[in-house]
């Protein structure tokens, strides 16, 4: 009933928000008679704010047309590689007509970026993808709004999420020999489960896993998000947050956690910050500060665009990750596509290098929640494990913005290169210099022929023997119960 009321209200308000948008333009346009009024700029700003607060926000586009490769733009073609009922595997294919550039692109690492399914669209990682495209072949999981999925496609559980990730990894392994996996926030848990299951079966596992700001062990340094999940019973979530999709959508009748409720929860976490942001936007409109107003629009176009999640997936995630802590307690069993139940055992992972990233000021995934992955993955050699804590970074800062580009990405790039097999035609290089040599290589490039698949990856047993380069590290103080030697972003052995 609540979903129907919301849609009815939105439909009722739509003409007024459209009218407000038109009025804002009339009072702002220098060629309009309305702009001659003394208060026209203030009136326009008020109507503009009213329009943005009331209008609906559709799924944004990635809008990545070019990528900067060593100072030269190469063309990007975005396409769907695999299409599943609840997710699309999206590829950002790079093109160049310069042979030197083509050779460079051909041998770069393949990275599967697993985006969160926690309210926002995968476009939230636009900056992540844009930066990664400089040095990697990038694929991303683009999750579908559940209200657009017909009931005939069946339900979607956390188990299905794990199965999707495995299928995508196998697809890239078939095309390239192997790949690297990066998970941001929520997917750190299902990605770890997917790779664990592959390792337990004796399958080839990814060359490396980069886990960023995720609730591997949500019992550590609980945040408001964790408290909400643990303070309420499962029956409360089901009775208060789950509703059926109303008429007018392909998924009519599907039980979902609606996007508009999720958005309300996001805003409720920091209401004063959002109120201040909107007031500043109003003032900047009056002053004619186009740069600031455009930055505001871009941020909230993304932030206000939310999707519905299938109720089964949402409820199973709450119980598995935030209430029963099944991953860290060793009690998580996953149903495969064949219906067989398999136990998740991260200790079975032996040959996949592991990097965890946390933000010092993360208020969504608290300190130590992501780093807990190193304890679980006891089978991975210590030399292949690293942890990076980013000074001054909140949750979004570790994958978007200046800190991501200047602090986090350089570490991620070097880590991935370290475990990327060298092309068969390349001259052998000392293992400890692999990352440095690759990072310093800057061949000439030109504009956009096709990015070719790289040579097959090395066998798992070769991965395990690859020595780590000699990078400055500090011991993990938290694991020993000691205070860190210095409070700043550091790369350290796990």
Residue at 288 is within a domain: yes
At residue 424, the pLDDT reads 67
At residue 492, the pLDDT reads 56
- Name the domain count of the chain: 2
Query: Are 81 and 39 contained in the same domain?
Result: no
At residue 494, the pLDDT reads 58
Q: What is the pLDDT of residues 345-378, one digit of tens each?
A: 999 999 999 999 999 999 899 999 999 999 999 9
Query: Are 169 and 297 contained in the same domain?
Result: no
Query: Are 209 and 279 contained in the same domain?
Result: no
Q: From 214, 172, 220, select the one nearest 453 (Cα to Cα).
A: 172
Query: Are 114 and 155 contained in the same domain?
Result: yes
Query: Are 164 and 18 contained in the same domain?
Result: no
Residue at 404 is within a domain: yes
At residue 491, the pLDDT reads 57
Query: Are 325 and 204 contained in the same domain?
Result: yes
At residue 270, the pLDDT reads 81
> Which of 291, 307, 323 is the endpoint of a domain?
307
Strand order in the sheet with 385-390: 66-69, 72-84, 87-95, 137-143, 110-114, 180-184, 208-212, 353-359, 385-390, 490-493
At residue 411, the pLDDT reads 96
Rounded Cα–Cα distance for residues 149 and 288 (Å): 43
At residue 397, the pLDDT reads 93
Q: From 19, 61, 356, 48, select the one nearest 182 (Cα to Cα).
A: 356
Report CA-CA distances (Å) from 478 to 74, 189, 389, 490, 493.
43, 21, 12, 13, 12
What Rg do the C-alpha atoms of the chain give, in angstroms? 24
Residue at 228 is within a domain: yes
> Which of 307, 333, 366 is the endpoint of a domain?
307
Query: Are 141 and 227 contained in the same domain?
Result: yes
Report residues of the chain scoring pLDDT below 70.
Answer: 424-494
Residue at 246 is within a domain: no
At residue 493, the pLDDT reads 56
**Domain with 288 in it:** 2-56+259-307
Residues forming a β-bridge with 266: none
Query: Are 77 and 21 contained in the same domain?
Result: no
Q: From 441, 436, 438, select the one nearest 472 (Cα to Cα).
A: 436
Query: Are 121 and 223 contained in the same domain?
Result: yes
CB neighbour list of residue 152: distance below 8 Å, 6 or more residues apart: none
- CATH of residue 427: 3.40.50.1820
Whether the pTM exceeds 0.85: the reply is no
Q: From 145, 155, 97, 151, select the one nearest 122 (Cα to Cα).
A: 145
> Which of 251, 276, 307 is the endpoint of a domain?
307
Query: Are 303 and 210 contained in the same domain?
Result: no
Query: Are 186 and 45 contained in the same domain?
Result: no
Residue at 242 is within a domain: no
| CB 256 within 8 Å of CB 146 | yes
Residue at 11 is within a domain: yes
At residue 44, the pLDDT reads 93
Query: Are 296 and 392 contained in the same domain?
Result: no
Residue at 85 is within a domain: yes
Residue at 184 is within a domain: yes
């Amino acid at each position: 009933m609540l979903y129907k009321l919301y849609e009815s209200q939105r439909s009722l308000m739509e003409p007024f928000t459209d009218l407000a948008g038109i009025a804002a333009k009339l009072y702002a346009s220098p060629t309009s008679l309305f702009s001659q009024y003394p208060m026209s700029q203030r009136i326009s700003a008020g109507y503009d704010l009213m329009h943005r607060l009331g209008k609906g926000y559709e799924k944004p586009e990635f809008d990545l047309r070019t990528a900067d490769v060593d100072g030269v733009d190469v063309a990007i073609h975005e396409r769907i590689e695999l299409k599943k009922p609840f997710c699309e595997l999206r590829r950002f294919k790079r093109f160049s007509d310069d042979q030197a550039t083509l050779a460079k692109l051909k041998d770069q690492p393949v990275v599967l970026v697993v985006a969160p399914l926690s309210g926002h669209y995968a476009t939230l990682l636009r900056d992540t993808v844009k930066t990664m495209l400089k040095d990697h072949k990038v694929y991303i999981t683009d999750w579908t709004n559940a209200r657009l999925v017909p009931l005939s496609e069946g339900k979607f559980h956390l188990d299905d999420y794990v199965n999707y990730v495995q299928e995508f990894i196998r697809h890239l392994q078939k095309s390239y020999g192997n790949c690297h996996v990066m998970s941001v926030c929520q997917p750190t848990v299902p990605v770890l489960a997917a790779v664990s299951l592959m390792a337990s079966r004796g399958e080839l596992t990814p060359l490396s896993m980069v886990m960023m700001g995720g609730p591997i062990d949500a019992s550590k340094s609980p945040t408001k998000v964790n408290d909400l999940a643990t303070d309420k019973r499962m029956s409360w979530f089901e009775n208060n947050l789950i509703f059926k999709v109303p008429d007018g959508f392909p998924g009519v009748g599907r039980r979902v956690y609606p996007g508009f409720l999720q958005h309300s929860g996001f805003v409720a976490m920091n209401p004063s910050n959002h109120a201040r942001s909107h007031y500043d936007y109003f003032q900047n409109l009056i002053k004619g500060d186009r740069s600031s107003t455009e930055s505001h629009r871009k941020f909230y176009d993304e932030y206000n665009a939310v999707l519905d999640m299938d109720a089964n997936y949402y409820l199973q995630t709450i119980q598995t990750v935030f209430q029963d802590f099944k991953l860290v307690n060793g009690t998580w069993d996953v149903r495969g596509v064949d219906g067989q139940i398999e136990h998740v055992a991260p200790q079975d992972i032996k040959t996949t290098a592991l990097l965890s990233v946390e933000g010092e000021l993360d208020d969504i995934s608290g300190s130590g929640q992501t780093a807990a992955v190193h304890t679980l993955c006891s089978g991975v050699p210590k030399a292949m494990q690293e942890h990076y804590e980013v000074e001054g970074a909140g949750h979004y800062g570790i994958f978007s913005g200046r800190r991501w580009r200047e602090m986090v990405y350089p570490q991620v790039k070097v880590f991935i290169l370290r475990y990327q097999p060298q092309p068969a035609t390349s001259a052998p290089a000392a293992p400890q210099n692999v990352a440095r040599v690759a990072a310093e290589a800057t061949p000439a490039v030109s504009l956009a022929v096709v990015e070719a698949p790289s040579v097959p990856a090395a066998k798992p047993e070769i991965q395990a023997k690859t020595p780590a380069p000699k990078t400055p590290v500090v011991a993990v103080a938290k694991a020993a119960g000691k205070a860190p030697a210095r409070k700043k972003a550091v790369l350290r052995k796990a």
